Structure 1
Amino acid sequence: MRIPRTLLVISCFAVSVAQAQTTDKEKALAKKNEAIELMDNGKLAESITLLEEARKLDPAEPEIVYEMALAKYQQKSFDEAMKLLKELVKKKQATGRVYAMMGNALDEMGKPEKAIDAYDEGIKKFPGEGNLYLERGVMELRRSEYNAALGFFEKGIKAAPMYPSNYYRAAKIFLDSDQEIWGMIYGEIFMNIERGSKRTEEISKLLYYTYKGEIKFESDTTVSVSFAKQNNTIVLDASQSKKAQVSSLASALAEQVMASMGKSFANGAYEMTLVKSIIGEKMINLASLNRIRTKFLDIYTQEGRDTTYPVVLFDFQRKVKEAGHLEAYNYWILGLGDEKVFGEWRSEHEQQWNDFMKWFKENRIKITEENTFIRTQIILADAIKKAAK
């Protein structure tokens, strides 16, 4: 069939336009990616030049505008960054990251209340964005409103359970309080999500120091544990022989601990299990903490507490244990608290450590909406149980 010359010309023109458009988009993407690399290396002016070129090639692409705003923000050109971000909001191309940067820019401009409004608007439009809850909580921290800050961090954990920074912030607050239990759990979850960072090293030290500070051997027959506000001191009958004391310790603890702790998660399930796990220990160091944490996991499971109080962290620890790597994992979690001993252990257990690291890289903790650990939900469950009685 013959094609009229006019239609043939139009057809060829349409194809060439489409090819040009595709080429422009590809060029824009390449320039954007190169600009991001320059930005990461601190070359902000060069990055902005490339992004401007990319925008001319693909003016409708919102990611190019966002990256331009980010470069301007890093240059501390906050007014220019805000102009670009507002453009995205106006065109309904904003994401949670856009609102987070808007809040940050407004805060840097000395407008904290407007920054809060930006974060709140972002949370309303993007309730699943963990970084918005983080930024909102940080604003409360700066006003020393710790409970309000925790509220946002824990809402962020619920909304985005694999976003690490809300765990980090919540852990830091609790590990500096008289309710360290929550910091111990949040902190270890954080380490499993964000591995190998400076913040991970910081939390490793804090967890170790908290164990050292809150488990105290007052004498051969007295140990105190204080991870949940009240200090629970367990005293054995001084007239017993040391061997008899150890053998009867479990029953003595059961009575004393239940009387002093109640049956909540914090004072009952966690601290009572921890106290039972300390039986036979005389000091706190990496080796004893490995034994204590291993016993804790066993007792917690054997007594059915994992059914009453399921904790995603303990579920993951059981997975590590089943794979044969719990000792190496415990040393990894707490090792930065005593780097010398950790280094010695790792040298003496090189194959064990390498096997663990290989397994660990391929097996990460998985936290979903269904198994997220949130302190407030545990407290609510305790309150409901108490009311029912």
Structure 2
Amino acid sequence: MRTLGAILLPLFFFFTTLAQVGDNPTALLKKGIALHDKGDYAGAIKIYDEILKQEPDNTEVLYEKTFSLMQQGSYQECADLCKDILKRFPDNEFNKGTYINYGTALDHLKKPEEAIKVYSEGINKYPNHYLLYFNRAVTENIYKQTDNAIADLKKAVSLNPSHTTSHLYLGLLMSSSNKIAAMMSLSAFLMIEPEGQRAARALPQLLNLAGSNVEKKDEKNITISLPSKLVDSTVKMEDDFRSTEVAMSMLAALDFDKKNSKKNVAEKLSEKLSMIIGIISERKDSNQTGFYTSFYIPFFKSLKDNGYLETACYIMCTSADEKDVKKWISKNKGKIDELYSYMRDYKWTVPTN
């Protein structure tokens, strides 16, 4: 018996040690995050609660729990926990995400004013965190605060020019007030995210803007209808691209000419963007100001000046159902890789206003 006991006792401590190592907070946290990523939010929350029994002040675990609660649809519980975290641990490193989860939960609870207040508090504390501006913009747009939403989306893309959704939403919101500006945002989105359902919806919107104000009545008649605001010189505005829009409409009318019938969608888009960039960047008017003038125009001008604009337009048109476009993309992988390398190194001009 003593011999057996001597064998069993070390084995007991061996397996106990293994269990302790396997169930340490770090290992459990990884397990909880893995369950969350698989969509098992309840399972993840259960593990987070196990950790919090041992370490009730573990702010990383508390943050992950708010994320799982939100994804699970437990919005009130998520909001309550976020509020408690921000009160007890006002300076912890995960609070950027906590503010976002808190505001999102309040959005789902139909409390937009409270959500905007939370995002604003987060922005005051973390003024360079683009997702706080983006999330506030989403709430503002839903509740018809369009100007505020546009301002926040501009801030979001200036802080993170790679954030595709900010470019997309900004383009959509600008489409009714400034078509040239909207085209720039949608073009930037499609360059970064040229495939998928969102791209398939964004490309027709971009092409419609590029061909707007022009209608083919029949085989012999093409009508260009310019909104009154395009020719009203008394109206002052930033990013005043009205004369450029008029020129674009004239060029769009030529799309119906037989000489242009063989051009594919990317070629036509490239012509229009090249003209837009040329007119705006060469304008001598020193009073021309605005976010698009200082942020987007230098980027697209750099593409044109460095010979990348055509490649960019083919990338934008990836989701177009045209054989010529697909063929070009298939044969020019090198040009596409070169453009993306250029984009990674490009230093965006961040507006100061």
Note whether the superposition's TM-score is higher than 0.5. yes
Question: Over aligned residue pairs, what C-alpha RMSD do you find?
Answer: 4.2
Matched, 1:100 2:100: yes
Q: Residue 157 and residue 298 in structure 1: after superposition, are their counterparts in 2 closer, same or farther (change >3 A)?
A: closer
Deviation at 1:102, TM superposition (A): 1.0
Q: Residue 373 and residue 334 in structure 1: after superposition, are their counterparts in 2 closer, same or farther (change >3 A)?
A: farther
Q: Residue 179 and residue 62 in structure 1: after superposition, are their counterparts in 2 closer, same or farther (change >3 A)?
A: same
List aligned pairs for 1:284-299, cutoff 5 A.
286=265, 287-298=267-278
Is the contact between residue 137 and residue 149 of structure 2 (CA under 8 Å) also seen in structure 1?
yes
One-letter identity of the residue aligned with 2:82: L
Matched, 1:141 2:133: no
Q: Residue 194 and residue 31 in structure 1: after superposition, are their counterparts in 2 closer, same or farther (change >3 A)?
A: farther
Matched, 1:347 2:347: no
Q: Paired residue for 1:45?
A: 42
Q: Residue 361 and residue 50 in structure 1: after superposition, are their counterparts in 2 closer, same or farther (change >3 A)?
A: farther
Q: Paired residue for 1:86?
A: 83
Q: Residue 72 and residue 306 in structure 1: after superposition, are their counterparts in 2 closer, same or farther (change >3 A)?
A: same
Secondary structure in structure 2 of the residue aligned to 1:364: helix
Gapped regions of structure 1 (runs ≥ 5): 1-19, 233-257, 378-389
Deviation at 1:225, TM superposition (A): 7.4
Q: Paired residue for 2:350?
A: 372
Q: Paired residue for 2:131?
A: 131
Deviation at 1:180, TM superposition (A): 1.7
One-letter identity of the residue aligned with 2:327: S
Deviation at 1:264, TM superposition (A): 7.3
CA shift digits 1:212-244 (9 cap, x unpaired): 233457898977475x86356xxxxxxxxxxxx
Matched, 1:111 2:85: no
Q: Paired residue for 2:11?
A: none
List aligned pairs for 1:263-342, cutoff 5 A.
265-267=239-241, 270-271=244-245, 274=248, 282=256, 286=265, 287-298=267-278, 300=280, 311-321=294-304, 324-336=307-319, 339-341=320-322
TM-score by length of 2: 0.72
Deviation at 1:126, TM superposition (A): 1.9
Taking only the aligned residue pairs, the percentage that are identical comes to 19
Structure 2 Cα separation of the partners of residues 120 and 263 of structure 1: 27
Structure 1 Cα separation of the partners of residues 345 and 36 of structure 2: 32
Q: Residue 73 and residue 269 in structure 1: after superposition, are their counterparts in 2 closer, same or farther (change >3 A)?
A: same
CA shift digits 1:34-65 (9 cap, x unpaired): 32232122111222233334445655442221
Structure 1 Cα separation of the partners of residues 52 and 118 of structure 2: 26
TM-score by length of 1: 0.66
Q: Paired residue for 1:362?
A: 341
Structure 1 Cα separation of the partners of residues 307 and 331 of structure 2: 13
Structure 1 Cα separation of the partners of residues 52 and 279 of structure 2: 60
List aligned pairs for 1:129-208, cutoff 5 A.
129-158=129-158, 160-175=160-175, 177-194=176-193, 196-208=195-207
